[in-house]
Amino acid sequence: MDPFLMVLPLALVMALGVVFGRIGLLTEDTVPKLNAILYWAALPALLFRSILRVGGGIFSDPNLFWAVHVSFILIPGIAWLISSRFTRERRKIAVSVLVAVRANNVFMGIPAITIALGQPGLDALSLFFAVGLLGYNFISITWAQAALSGKVSLRSLGATLINLLKNPLILACLFGVSGAFMGYSELPWWIDSTLKIIGDTGSGIALIALGASLKIHNPLRALKSTWRDIFFKLMIHPALVWVTFLVWPVDPVLRDTVVLVSAMPGAINNFVLAQSMGMDSDYAGEIVALSTAFSIITLPIWIRILGV
C-alpha cells in the first residue's frame, strides 16, 4: 500500500474533528470531556489488555529497555544544545527539550501503528509502553525542568514520580506488567470483552478530539519560530531512535514500531506540562499544532524508509 494512503485515514478523521470544532459540534467545553474519557477509560483499557496479550514477552528482550532509555536520555540533551544556539530564553529552550522526545504516542500513535502494522504492531507498541512509559515521562520532564531552572532537586524528582504514578495510562501499564509477571496472559471472557469494547472506542475518538483541539492563529509566523523544533521532532528524533537499535538490535517489527511512533508529532500534553511548569506554553502549543499538520507529510516518508 502507498505510504500516503496508509496515513490518509488519520488525516481524514482528524479533519472530521476540525470540522466538528468549526461548526460547534465539539466546543472548548466538550473536547476536554472527550479527552477525559480517553484518558481515564478507553486508552487505559486498551493498554492494559494489550500488555497482557504480550505476556512474558515483556521480560524477554533487554535490548529494548536499553535502546529506548538511552534515547530518552540523549535526545533531550541534544535538543537542549541545538536550541541554546538560537535563543537564550530559558522558557523556550525548556519547551524544545520537552517536545523533542515527547511524541503523541497514544492519541495518534495507536491508530497510526494499527493501520500501518496491524495487530503485530499494536502488540509491539504495547511492549514499548510496558517497558518505557514510566521512564519516558520521568526522564523527559526531568530534562525539561533542568533546562528551565538550570538544576533538578530531589524534592522535584520525588514530586514528579508521585504525579506520574497517579497517571491512569502509567497505572494501566504497571498493572498489565504485573499481570504478565504473574502469568495472567488471559482474562475471563466477560472482562476481556468489556475492556475490548471500551478500548476499541479510543482510536477514532482520539483522532477526532485531536483535530478539534488544533488551533493556531498565525501559521506562517509560528512556523518561522518553531520549524527547527518541528524538524527535530518529526525527523531527527526517530532517526536517533533508529540508531540506538543499531547498537541494541531487536525484532524488526518491534524496531519499526518504536521508530514510527517516535516520528509522531508532539504530544498534546506538552502544552499542559509547559503551562504548569512555567515554560512558554504558547510556543509549545504552536509546536504541537504545526508538528501534527506536518506529520501527514513526514509519516509517509518514515513508512517508506522503514519499508512497512
Per-residue model confidence as pLDDT tens digits over 68-87:
999 999 999 999 999 999 98
Q: Rounded mean pLDDT of 229-246?
A: 97
How many domains are there within the chain? 1
Q: Cα torsion at 251, 256, 261, 265 (round to 10°)?
A: 160
Residue 106 corresponds to which cell in the numbers above? 497514544
Q: Which pLDDT value is given to residue 150?
A: 74
Q: pLDDT band at residue 298, thresholds of 50, 70 and 90?
A: very high
More confident site: 210 or 113:
113
Higher pLDDT, 115 or 4: 115
**pLDDT tens-place string over residues 95-126:** 999 999 999 888 888 888 988 899 899 889 98
pLDDT of 1 higher than 70: no
What span, in angstroms and rounded, lies between the C-alpha atoms of 121 and 228? Answer: 30
pLDDT above 70: residue 252: yes
55-63 average pLDDT score:
76
Angle between helices 62-83 and 109-149 (to 10 degrees): 50
Comparing 73-87, 165-179, 292-306, the range with the smallest average pLDDT is 165-179
Cell of 14: 482528524
Q: Where are the beta strands (DSSP E) in 45-101?
A: none
pLDDT (mean) for 227-234: 96
Can you tell me the distance from the alpha carbon of 61 to that of 48, in angstroms, rounded to the nearest whole number? 20
**Which set of grid coordinates corresponds to residue 280?**
512558554
Can you tell me the mean pLDDT for 45-67?
82
CB 58 within 8 A of CB 127: yes
The C-alpha atoms of residue 82 and residue 98 are separated, in whole angstroms, by: 13
User: Higher-confidence residue: 176 or 227?
Assistant: 227
Distance, in Å, from the CA atom of 272 to the CA atom of 243, rounded to the nearest integer, reads 30
* Helix runs in 250-308, H state only: 252-262, 269-276, 281-306
Radius of gyration of the chain (CA): 18
- Tracing cell 493556531 back to the chain, one arrives at 216
Q: What is the pLDDT averaged over residues 252-259?
A: 96
| Residue range(s) defining the domain that contains residue 161 | 3-306
3-state secondary structure of 103: strand
Distance CA 62, CA 149 (A): 34
> Phi, psi at residue 104, to the nearest 5°?
-80, 65
pLDDT at 81: 94
Instruction: Indicate whether 194 pLDDT > 90.
Output: yes
Per-residue pLDDT averaged across 229-254, rounded?
96
Which residues are 103's β-sheet partners?
Answer: 266
pLDDT score, position 42: 85
Task: Give the global pTM.
Answer: 0.83
Answer whether residue 52 shows pLDDT above 90: no
Q: How far is CA 183 from CA 49, 58, 120, 131, in A?
A: 14, 11, 21, 17
CA pair distance 200, 217, nearest whole angstrom: 33
3-state helix, strand, coil in the chain (%, to 5): 80, 0, 20
Average pLDDT, the chain: 87
CATH number at residue 33: 1.20.1530.20
Average pLDDT over residues 173-198: 86
